[in-house]
Amino acid sequence: MKTKFFIKHLSMFLLPLLIPLIILGALSILITQNYIKEDINKSSINLLKQTKENIELILSETDPMSLVYGNDQRIIEALASTMRNSSLTHEEIISYTILKSFLSAPANARPYIDSFYIYLPNDNGRFISSKEGLTDFNAYYDTQWYQQFIKKDQHINMWIEPRLVKPFSFESQPTRIVTIYQRISSVNGLIVLNILPEYIEKVLKSLSTLPEQSILVVNENNEIIFSDKQPNYLNDLNLNLETIYKSEEAFYTAKIDNESYIVSQLNSARYGWKYISVVPQRALYQVPFTIIKFTILLLLVSFVLGFVLAFYFARSRYKQISNVIHILDSAESGHPLPPLPDRVKDEFGYIIQNIVKTFIEQSFLKVQLSERRYKLQVAQLTALQSQINPHFLFNTLETLNWETIALTGRPNQVTKIIDNLSEILRYSLTNPEEPVSLNTEIKNLKSYIEIQKYRYEDKFDIIWEYDPVVIGCRVMKLLLQPFVENSIYHGIKEKEGNSLIKIRIELVGPDVLIAIVDNGLGMSRERLRKIRHDFERDDEFSDRIGMINTNKRIKLAYGEQYGIVIRSKKGWGTAVYMKLPMV
C-alpha cells in the first residue's frame, strides 16, 4: 500500500510538471517551424524596403545634376565651350570655376561619393571631373566609363554598373566603385556619379538582423552591385543568381547544391534592380534545437524535483491518513476519541478536528433536523390551506352568479359585479408568477375599476393614454391594481365632488414608463417622507403594503435600476411613476 501511495503522489507531482513542459516544447517547435518563415518574410520585406529607400536616396544625387547640367541651355553651352576651346577667356574661366565648385560640393560633402564626371561631345576628348577639374582622356586614370558610354544604346538614359579603378599605379588592389550613368539627351552628353560601395555596405550590415542573412542588390545584368557581407555560401549562390533574378515570387525557397535558402526579393521600378535577402534554411532550426535542449533540461530537473517532493509528501500524508482512519474506526466501534489537537497545522489537522466535532455534535444535529421537518410540514399545510380558501371563494361567486340570473331571469348589475369579481379572482389565481402582457393586465384592471365605480357611484373617471405598440410588453401580474386602489381609498373617497385618475403608458428608449396620476387629496410632506422611507426598508409592516410589495417585486425581477417613484402634494393629488424594461 505504501508503494502504491508513493506512485500515486509521484504521478500527481510529475504529471502537472512534465505534461505542460512537453506540450510547451512541442508547440514551440511546431510554431517555430510553421511560422518562422512568415516572420522572416515580413522582417526581410521591411528590411528590403528600408534598404531600397536608403540606396535610392543616395542614387538620386544625379537628379539635381541632371536638372542643372541637362536642362539649363546656358550651362550646357558654357560647358561645351569650355571643353571645346583649347584656351579659355576670362569669362569662360569664371564660369568654369563656378561650375567646378558646384560639381565638387556634393563629392566633398557626401562620404559615399567618390567623384562626379560631366562629359559633352568635343574633339579634344575633354571632360570635367570633381577631382581634377577640366581634364582629358589621355591624362586621366579612369576612362573605362567613356567606353561603356560609347557602346551603350542611345535610347537608354540611365544605367548603373560596378567597376574597378586604380587611381594610382602603385596600388596593389583596385578600388571598387559603383557608377551611375545619366545621359544628357539634348546634346548626347553624360553625367557620371561614382559611389564607394563600402559606405553603403556598412549601412546594409547595420540593417541585417537575422543570423547568416545576406542582403544583395543585383542589377539587370545579374551583377551584384552591393552586398552587406560575403558569407561562404554566397560563392555558390553567385552562380545561380540568374535563376533567382528571373523568379517573380516575392518569397520562396531556393535549393542550391543540396542546400536550401529562404529568398525574399523586392523590385525597383526605377533602376530595374532587385533587392534580395538570402537566409540559409539551417538558420531556422537553431531556435528549435535550443528549445529542445532547454525542454529536456527542464524535464530532467522537474523529474528530480517531483521525485523528491513526492517521496516527502507521500511519507507525511500516509502517516496523517492512517491517523484519520484510526479515528474513524474508533468512532464506529464506540472507543473513546482522541483529544482535539491544540492547533491546526495543515489540512489533515483540520479534518481530524472537524471529524471529532462532528461526532460530538451529532445528537444536537438530529434534534435540529427533526424540528425543521416539523416546521416544513406546518408550512406545507398552511400553503395548502391558503390555496383552498381563494378557490372556495371563486367557486362560491360562480354559484351566486348563476343563482342571481336564475332568480331575476336575466343578467343585471349584480351579476355584472360578480362577473368582474370572478375575472379578478381567476386572473389572480391562475399561474400567479407567470408574466402577462400589458393588454391582459389592463383588461383585469378595468374589471376592478368597474366594481369600484359602481361602489362609489361614479365618483371618479379614468383617462387612458397608451400606445398600442406598448401593450404587447410582458409584465408581472397585479402591477397596476394596488396603485389605483390606493388612489381611490386615500385620495378620492374622502374628497368632495368628482375626481380623475389618469393612466399613461409610453415607451422611452428601452424602457416602459407607467404613470398613475390622480387629483385627489394628496399627501403631506411628512406622510410622503414616511412612505418613501417604507420603500427602502426590508420589512413589510405598512398600511400601504401593496405598493411596497409591488416595488420589491419590480426590483427583484428586473434589477435595482427599476422601481417606483411617488410624488404628492397636499390638496393637489398624487402621482406614481413606474419604470420597467421593455420585454
| Separation of alpha carbons 194 and 472, rounded Å | 86
Residue-level pLDDT at 516: 93
Residue-level pLDDT at 371: 66
Q: Which of 274-283, 488-497, 533-542, 566-575 has the lowest mean pLDDT?
A: 533-542
- pTM comes to 0.43
Average pLDDT of span 287-293: 69
Q: What percent of the chain has pLDDT over 70?
A: 66
Q: How confident is the model at residue 229 (pLDDT cuts 50, 70, 90)?
A: low
Average pLDDT of span 431-458: 82
Residue-level pLDDT at 379: 45
> According to the per-residue pLDDT averaged within each range, which of 28-32, 337-341, 392-396 is highest?
28-32
Residue-level pLDDT at 431: 67
Residue-level pLDDT at 7: 67
Q: Which of 134-143, 159-168, 342-351 has the lowest mean pLDDT?
A: 342-351
**How confident is the prediction for the chain on average, in pLDDT?**
76
236 has a pLDDT exceeding 60? no
Residue-level pLDDT at 382: 46
> According to the per-residue pLDDT averaged within each range, which of 24-33, 115-124, 333-342 is highest?
115-124
Q: How confident is the model at residue 239 (pLDDT cuts 50, 70, 90)?
A: very low
What is the number of other CB atoms lying within 10 angstroms of the CB of residue 61? Answer: 19
Which is more confident, 133 or 289? Answer: 133
Which is more confident, 398 or 43? Answer: 43
The answer to whether residues 285 and 293 touch, using CB atoms and an 8 Å cutoff, is: no
Could you give the count of Cα atoms lying within 13 Å of 394 in the half-sphere of its Cβ?
14
Residue-level pLDDT at 567: 92
Look at residues 313, 334, 46, 76 and name the one whose alpha carbon lies nearest to residue 188.
76
Residue-level pLDDT at 514: 92
- How far, in Å, are 62, 69, 75, 82, 92 from residue 97 at the CA level? 20, 15, 12, 11, 8
Give residue for cell 413606474.
578
Residue-level pLDDT at 441: 87
Q: How confident is the model at residue 255 (pLDDT cuts 50, 70, 90)?
A: confident
Which is more confident, 573 or 337? Answer: 573
- How far, in Å, are 18, 76, 100, 190, 389 from residue 185 at the CA level? 75, 11, 21, 8, 114
Torsion sign over Cα 200, 205, 209, 215: positive
**Hey, what's the cell of 277?**
535577402
Residue-level pLDDT at 383: 42
Residue-level pLDDT at 209: 67
pLDDT in tens, 515-543: 999 998 888 888 888 888 887 775 544 44
Residue-level pLDDT at 540: 46
Q: Which amino acid is at 470?
A: V
402 has a pLDDT exceeding 80? no
Which is more confident, 565 or 554? Answer: 565
Q: What percent of the chain has pLDDT over 90?
A: 5
Longest dimension (CA), the chain: 149
| Separation of alpha carbons 363 and 348, rounded Å | 24
pLDDT in tens, 502-518: 999 998 888 899 999 99
pLDDT in tens, 168-218: 877 788 888 888 888 888 888 888 888 888 888 887 777 766 667 788 888
Could you give the count of Cα atoms lying within 13 Å of 374 in the half-sphere of its Cβ?
6
577 has a pLDDT exceeding 90? yes
The gap between the terminal CA atoms of the chain, to the nearest Å, is 63
Q: What are phi and psi of 512, to 5 degrees?
A: -105, 125
474 forms beta bridges with 437
Q: How confident is the model at residue 93 (pLDDT cuts 50, 70, 90)?
A: confident
**Hey, what's the cell of 498?**
368628482
499 has a pLDDT exceeding 80? yes
Q: Which of 70-84, 385-399, 437-451, 473-487 has the lowest mean pLDDT?
A: 385-399
Residue-level pLDDT at 34: 66
The answer to whether residues 487 and 523 touch, using CB atoms and an 8 Å cutoff, is: no
